[in-house]
């Protein structure tokens, strides 16, 4: 709670204040950074801890995002400063050039990141060949949203626009791959309720993500069911069209082990399914593909990574997950990892645009 903010603030402080300012400016700049350092952990605790304060959450999340951008570009700026040193540029000019560059780039990226996070996501389309898919199901359209993270910022109008886009894509199947909301059903349901207007004749399927288990997971499962979505809690449905069949399955997030009966169980999810039918599996985290591959799943659909959300965080995500975004092969199983439809925490997306995904299944 204290060490990470110290790291995030120390390097930008040195880059923007310590190496460039003197006298009153130095002390004022240092006081601003000290205030930010004390505010960040306090706001994050008040916002995401037991108090669940929405104003504190907005302050803490925004400060976290801004400082991550400043930290990343301060690091790059100081590396560039070494190049200026080799080129013969001495201080104080060198440090001031670095500071101005870091501040200008960071300000531009924060402004861009806010606009990118708050916009209605772009539509990404992809054909996915599925082994064993019958001709009657060739061309089946699956529209995927995930990681909406409805939270302290009221995004009701954004939610309504997302639904309009999804319906305009005329999906056969609609999927939500988890991390629906942060907070209780009572506080967040107005933002979630528009999802009940999504139309998909072969079904609307929802799985839990890890963030459901930081709050009222069962409450969200029940609420999505009340909106007409099918919660896929370690279960499957066999879909038919023209005599051809597709197994649509879902498993819980690994975080669900914290709640009795909510841990992931792929064996239970596929119990009773015809082994000759191709399986499409909803599993929130990409790393769950190891079990999916062992079970012979044709396609796994995941979210969770946000594509890193704020560059260069994707390098840290990659330490935990086998892939950050896009379509990849894992043994005989294809994995599609969405960059997510919304955002978590900081209302920033830098070089990791959100998406609404159309996966068109093709007979392989």
pLDDT digits 0-9 by tens, 30-80: 999 999 999 999 999 999 999 999 999 999 999 999 999 999 999 999 999
Interval 220-275: pLDDT, tens: 999 999 999 999 999 999 999 999 999 999 999 999 988 888 899 999 999 999 99
Spell out the residues 6+ positions from residue 249 whose beta carbon is closer than 8 angstroms to its own: 232, 235, 236, 237, 266, 269, 270, 273, 279, 280, 281, 282, 297
Kind plus residue range of the DSSP H or E element containing 16: none
Calpha distance 315→317 (Å, rounded)? 5
> Would you state the structure tokens that stand for residue 113, as one six-digit string?
């990141």
Calpha distance 154→347 (Å, rounded)? 12
Judge whether residue 104 has pLDDT over 80: yes
Greater confidence (262 vs 16) lies with: 16
pLDDT at 254: 95
**If you classify domain 122-363 with CATH, what class do you get?**
alpha beta
pLDDT at 270: 97
Are the CB atoms for 178 and 148 separated by under 8 Å? no
Residue 336's nearest CA partner among 323, 345, 349 is: 323
Mean predicted confidence (pLDDT) in 277-285: 98
Residue 214's nearest CA partner among 59, 355, 349, 344 is: 344
Calpha distance 16→95 (Å, rounded)? 8
- pTM for the model stands at 0.94
Mean predicted confidence (pLDDT) in 75-96: 94
Q: What angle do CA 188, 189, 194 make, to 5 degrees?
A: 120
- Mean pLDDT, the chain, whole residue set: 96
Interval 341-364: pLDDT, tens: 999 999 999 999 999 999 999 998
pLDDT at 261: 82
Looking at 80-94, 107-121, 158-172, which range is the least confident one?
Answer: 80-94
Of the pLDDT bands very low, low, confident and very high (cuts 50, 70, 90), residue 4 is confident
Sheet holding 235-241, edge to edge: 235-241, 244-250, 279-282, 299-302, 333-337, 326-330
- Binning the chain into helix, strand and coil, the percentages to the nearest 5 are 45, 20, 35
Greater confidence (4 vs 121) lies with: 121
Query: 289-297, long-range: CB within 8 Å, 24+ apart, which pairs?
Result: 289/322, 289/330, 289/333, 289/335, 290/322, 290/330, 291/264, 291/266, 292/266, 292/330, 292/333, 292/335, 293/330, 293/331, 293/332, 293/333, 294/331, 295/266, 295/267, 295/270, 296/332, 296/333, 297/249, 297/333
Looking at 259-268, 316-325, 334-343, which range is the least confident one?
Answer: 259-268
Judge whether residue 215 has pLDDT over 90: no
Phi–psi pair at 35, nearest 5 degrees: -60, -45
Judge whether residue 326 has pLDDT over 80: yes
> Would you state the structure tokens that stand for residue 351, as one six-digit string?
């070089």
Calpha distance 338→125 (Å, rounded)? 11
Of the pLDDT bands very low, low, confident and very high (cuts 50, 70, 90), residue 81 is very high
Calpha distance 29→26 (Å, rounded)? 5
Structural Rg of the chain based on CA atoms: 23
Residue 70's nearest CA partner among 42, 43, 32, 44 is: 32
pLDDT at 97: 96
Judge whether residue 114 has pLDDT over 90: yes
Judge whether residue 1 has pLDDT over 90: no
Domain ranges across the chain: 2-118, 122-363
Of the pLDDT bands very low, low, confident and very high (cuts 50, 70, 90), residue 19 is very high
Calpha distance 310→220 (Å, rounded)? 27
- Burial call 230-254: b when 16+ CB within 10 Å, e when fewer: bbbbbbbeebeeeebbbbbbbbbbb
């Amino acid at each position: 709670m204290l060490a990470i903010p110290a790291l995030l603030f120390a390097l930008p402080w040195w880059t923007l204040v310590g190496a460039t300012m003197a006298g009153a400016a130095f002390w004022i700049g240092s006081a601003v950074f000290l205030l930010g350092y004390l505010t960040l952990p306090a706001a994050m605790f008040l916002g995401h801890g037991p108090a669940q304060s929405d104003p504190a959450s907005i302050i803490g999340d925004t400060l976290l995002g801004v400082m991550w951008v400043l930290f990343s570009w301060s690091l790059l700026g100081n590396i560039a400063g070494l190049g200026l040193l080799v080129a013969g540029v001495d201080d104080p000019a060198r440090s001031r050039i670095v500071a101005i560059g870091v501040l200008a780039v960071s300000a531009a990226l924060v402004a861009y990141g806010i606009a990118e996070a708050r916009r209605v996501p772009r539509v990404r389309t992809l054909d996915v060949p599925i082994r064993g898919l019958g001709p009657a199901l060739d061309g089946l359209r699956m529209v995927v949203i995930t990681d909406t993270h409805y939270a302290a910022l009221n995004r009701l109008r954004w939610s309504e626009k997302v639904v309009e886009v999804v319906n305009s894509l005329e999906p056969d199947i609609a999927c939500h791959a988890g991390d629906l909301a942060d907070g209780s059903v009572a506080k967040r349901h107005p933002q979630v309720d528009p999802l009940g207007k999504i139309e998909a004749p072969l079904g609307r399927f929802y799985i839990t993500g890890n963030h459901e288990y930081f709050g009222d997971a069962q409450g969200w499962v029940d609420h999505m069911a009340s909106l007409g979505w099918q919660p896929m809690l370690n279960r499957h449905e066999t879909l038919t069209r023209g005599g051809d069949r597709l197994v649509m399955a879902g498993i819980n997030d690994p975080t669900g082990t914290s709640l009795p009966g909510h841990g992931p169980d792929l064996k239970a999810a596929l119990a009773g399914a015809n082994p000759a039918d191709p399986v499409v599996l909803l599993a929130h985290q990409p790393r769950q593909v190891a079990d999916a591959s062992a079970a012979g799943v044709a396609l796994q659909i995941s979210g969770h990574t946000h594509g890193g959300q704020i560059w260069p965080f994707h390098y840290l995500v990659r330490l935990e997950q086998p892939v950050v975004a896009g379509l990849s092969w894992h043994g005989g199983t294809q994995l599609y990892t969405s960059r997510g439809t919304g955002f978590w925490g900081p209302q920033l997306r830098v070089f990791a645009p959100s998406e609404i995904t159309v996966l068109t299944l093709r007979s392989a």
